[in-house]
Amino acid sequence: MPLPLPKAELHLHIEGTLEPELAFALAARNGVTLPYADTEQLREAYLFSDLQSFLDLYYELMAVLHTVDDFTELADAYLARAAAQGVRHAEIFFDPQAHTARGIPIGTVIEGLARALDGAEERHGVSTRLIMCFLRDESAESAMATLEAAKPYLHRITGVGLDSAEVGHPPSKFREVYAAAEALGLRKVAHAGEEGPPDYIREALDVLGVERIDHGLRCVEDPELVERLVRERVPLTLCPLSNVRLRAIDVLEDHPLASMLEAGLMATVNSDDPAYFGGYVGDTFDAVRGALGLDREQMRTLARNSFEASFLDDDEDRRAR
Ligand code: ES4
Ligand code: ZN
């Protein structure tokens, strides 16, 4: 087995790394009853028809996360798996509102994640950043209150993102929140064009001023937008296995990644919610190479793009490679 390509992972929801085995262990520890008999029955529920059907399970299962230690254990398990697949740098999303809504303080979440991330360079050889995501199907006021609640922890947070159910919740809904985040010195990304139309990608760029588009898959429907994304070298954090599992595309062989690279788009490949979508980022690299017949040069381009699109500064960028 050749060594996996060194790479950065830029689109990874830490709650989406909750494997069934850890979910049951945490459920037992925290006295939570899951509506599944065992890990096998839980895995049978991983047949999704769209983004919402996945989100329903994703939010249900994270009810097992209670303590600082739970979040540390979750993140440490991800970092170990990612490192084994060649990840040298990870920019990790978390969803504070999914926890505060069920009575877990934001400090518990951030403290727990930070403990794992603080030891990650030494324990796993992985540098890390944290990106706090707002749930777009909640109100802009709730997002603003979340940003306010995060103020004591801003030294731990590199940027903000926007996730959850996309259609009907355009980026412009969060104009003020993103302006406030920018004023606090935070970097900005947003999910756009996963299930939503190409215009959501434009809004994320023009109204929110994001530096990367998470997914961006549906840009391919809009040649003018593609031309702009190429010209401005806007990174897209694609998640091909997620697109198949959430039925955005039928089969991996139909994924437009290869033509997107050919068009000159700054594409990166990521795992999104690896516990749910059938693979971590190394598995995802292998899967797209096989399904799309990408050559060594294209795989190296993907790895190079991942570092170039990251929020590592230039010095660190060179060291991580
Ligand atoms: C997500 Cl795949 C995906 N899309 C939007 N929001 C999310 N949160 C976790 N995974
Ligand atoms: Zn995502």
The pLDDT, as a whole number, for residue 15 is 99
The pLDDT, as a whole number, for residue 307 is 98
The pLDDT, as a whole number, for residue 320 is 52
Instruction: Dump pLDDT digits (tens) for 9-61.
Output: 999 999 999 999 999 999 999 999 999 999 999 999 999 999 999 999 999 99
Using the 8-state DSSP alphabet, how is residue 289 labeled?
Answer: H
Please tell me which residue in 194, 211, 221, 297 is annotated as part of the active site: 194
Ligand 1 contact via 271 beta carbon (within 6 Å): no
Cβ contacts of residue 29 below 8 Å, gap of 6+? 70
The whole-model pTM stands at 0.97
Ligand 1 atom showing the smallest separation from residue 239 Cα: 2
For residues 156 and 129, is the Cβ–Cβ distance under 8 A?
no
Please name the amino acid found at residue 193. G
Ligand 1: distance of its center to the CA of 216 in Å?
13
For residue 256, pLDDT beyond 80: yes
Q: CA geometry: angle at 16 spanning 13 and 20, to 5°?
A: 160
Instruction: Dump pLDDT digits (tens) for 56-101.
Output: 999 999 999 999 999 999 999 999 999 999 999 999 999 999 999 9
Ligand 1 atom showing the smallest separation from residue 194 Cα: 4
Cβ contacts of residue 290 below 8 Å, gap of 6+? none
Tell me: is residue 273 an annotated ligand-binding position: yes
What domains, with CATH codes, occur in the chain? 7-307 (3.20.20.140)
- Ligand 1 atom 3: the closest Cα is on which residue? 164
Report residue 319's pLDDT band, with 50, 70 and 90 as the boundaries. Answer: very low
194 is catalytic: yes
Instruction: Dump pLDDT digits (tens) for 131-181.
Output: 999 999 999 999 999 999 999 999 999 999 999 999 999 999 999 999 999
Q: CA geometry: angle at 275 spanning 273 and 281, to 5°?
A: 65
Per DSSP, what are the bridge partners of residue 163? 135
Tell me: is residue 11 an annotated ligand-binding position: yes
> What is the DSSP track for 13-65?
EGGGG--HHHHHHHHHHHTPPPSSSSHHHHHHT---SSHHHHHHHHHHHGGG-
**Average pLDDT, rounded, for the chain:** 97
Ligand 1 contact via 242 beta carbon (within 6 Å): yes
Ligand 2: distance of its center to the CA of 272 in Å?
5
Ligand 1 contact via 9 beta carbon (within 6 Å): no
Report residue 205's pLDDT band, with 50, 70 and 90 as the boundaries. Answer: very high
Mean pLDDT of all residues in 211-216 = 98
The pLDDT, as a whole number, for residue 301 is 98
Give me the percent of the chain exceeding a pLDDT of 90: 96
Q: What is the dihedral of CA 238, 15, 180, 317, to 10 degrees?
A: -50
For residue 321, pLDDT beyond 60: no
Instruction: Dump pLDDT digits (tens) for 241-251.
Output: 999 999 999 99
Report residue 317's pLDDT band, with 50, 70 and 90 as the boundaries. Answer: very low
Using alpha carbons, select from 66, 132, 72, 63 the residue that is nearest to residue 96.
Answer: 132
The pLDDT, as a whole number, for residue 3 is 86
The pLDDT, as a whole number, for residue 318 is 46
Ligand 2: distance of its center to the CA of 103 in Å?
24
Ligand 1 atom showing the smallest separation from residue 133 Cα: 8
Exposed / middle / buried, residue 223 (Cβ in 10 Å: 0-12, 13-18, 19+) = exposed
Beta pairing class for 7-13 and 266-269? unpaired
